[in-house]
Amino acid sequence: MRNKLIGVTCLAYMAAAAAGQVPSKPRLAIVPQVDHIIISADTVEDAKTLWSLFSEHLKLPVAWPPAQYEGFFSGGVNAGNVNLEFVYSRDESVEPHSTGQPSTNARFSGLGLEPEPLAQALPALEQLGLHHGQPDHYQSKDQSGNQTTLWTTVALDDVSKNDMDVFLCEYSPNLFRPRRDLQENRQYLKDQLKQRGGGPMGIELVKEIVIGTSDYEATVRLWQKLLGPDARASGGVWHPAAGPAIRFIPSASDGIQSVVVRVVALGRARRFLQASGLLGHDAKSRIAIAPNKVMGIDVQFVQ
């Protein structure tokens, strides 16, 4: 009976196709959300200092403790709906960067994007004409001495810029033990932040990532392909299925310019930054940490 039903269904499908009545299959978004925002520092000590500021002073949950990996140093914190990664790579130059801004000790340098399973995402990229690199597997020895893959990254050549690396990042579920997988770990960190009341600033989540582009029209076309038709776009802001929104603005230079964080109450956040000597830009509806207190990065807060 089952084979008969399949045969009838296939015949019906072919008849509908011949009549031009079969709707095209809607494609899944290649990228459901931004997984982590990378802040690169010029030294290991600078990366450690920034990680400590956000984890110990702002009380953001630790996504992973600072550690030396093969080729780079990294520590992460969670900001409600996305991780912030503070990293130093010996492959990075400490020469002044081409952002058009004064030389600093740190900068927003990239985005790690959560993909649909790479087995689906990579053919989808190719179908859309979006260029990508080869999968790069980061491996480590497990307790038994066997090599195991912890995560796999794939560079996205079309949307990466000189000062901004954009890549897909697929994790091994084993990386999050004792939690089951990425989604359960993400919820765990979100719950931790909520239990802390958002820390002394009342942080809820990262509202948006602001990216400057010297070719606005071309950039938004590429990102719309990448984020898919379900990513709502309004006023230059793209909303993936989850996580922070992405705002594109015309700029003389390409790259991430700022991160905008939503807080429970702006007055509370302002008072904390003032008392801590960290308050920079101060307007009625938006404040910021003084860039010279966070090695040049622009972190803004709204309610």
Q: Strand 147-155: give its sheet, edge to edge.
A: 62-69, 72-78, 83-89, 33-41, 106-114, 165-171, 147-155, 136-141
Residue 187's Cβ-count burial label (10 Å; 0-12, 13-18, 19+) is exposed
Q: Which residues of 275-295 are buried (b: 16+ CB within 10 A; e: fewer)?
A: eeebbbeeeeeebbbebebbb
Got the DSSP string for 48-108? HHHHHIIIIIS-PPEEEEEEEETTEEEEEEE-SSSEEEEEEETTS--SPPTTSS---SEEE
Taking only the tens place, the pLDDT of each residue in 251-291 is: 999 999 999 999 999 999 999 999 999 999 999 999 999 99
Preceding amide of 178 cis, omega within 30: yes
CB 55 within 8 A of CB 65: no
Q: How many CA atoms lie within 13 A of 210 on its CB side?
A: 15
Please choose, from the candidates 10, 27, 30, the residue with its C-alpha nearest in 3D space to the C-alpha of residue 18. Answer: 10
What are the phi and psi torsion angles at 14 (to 5°)?
-65, -35
Burial class (CB in 10 A: 0-12, 13-18, 19+), 82: buried
- With H, G, I as helix, E, B as strand and everything else as coil, classify residue 295: coil
Say if residue 18's pLDDT is above 70. Answer: no
Task: Please report where in the chains the tokens 């071309």 appear, as a residue.
Answer: 218
pLDDT at residue 7 is higher than 50: no
Residue that wins the pLDDT comparison between 26 and 124: 124
Residue 21 has pLDDT above 70, yes or no: no
Q: Tell how strand 165-171 and strand 106-114 pair up.
A: parallel
pLDDT at 27: 52
How confident is residue 232, by pLDDT bands cut at 50, 70 and 90?
Answer: confident
* Residue 29: both structure tokens together: 């978004």
For residue 139, the surrounding DSSP H or E stretch is: strand 136-141
pLDDT of residue 88: 97
> Are β-strands 245-250 and 203-213 bridged in parallel, bridged antiparallel, or unpaired?
parallel
Mean pLDDT over each residue of the chain, to the nearest integer: 87
Least confident among 177-181, 189-193, 201-205: 177-181
Q: Domains, the chain, ranges and CATH?
A: 33-302 (3.10.180.10)
- Min mean pLDDT across 37-46, 91-100, 105-114, 255-264 is at 91-100
Model confidence at 114: pLDDT above 70:
yes
The CA distance from 278 to 50, in Å, is: 13
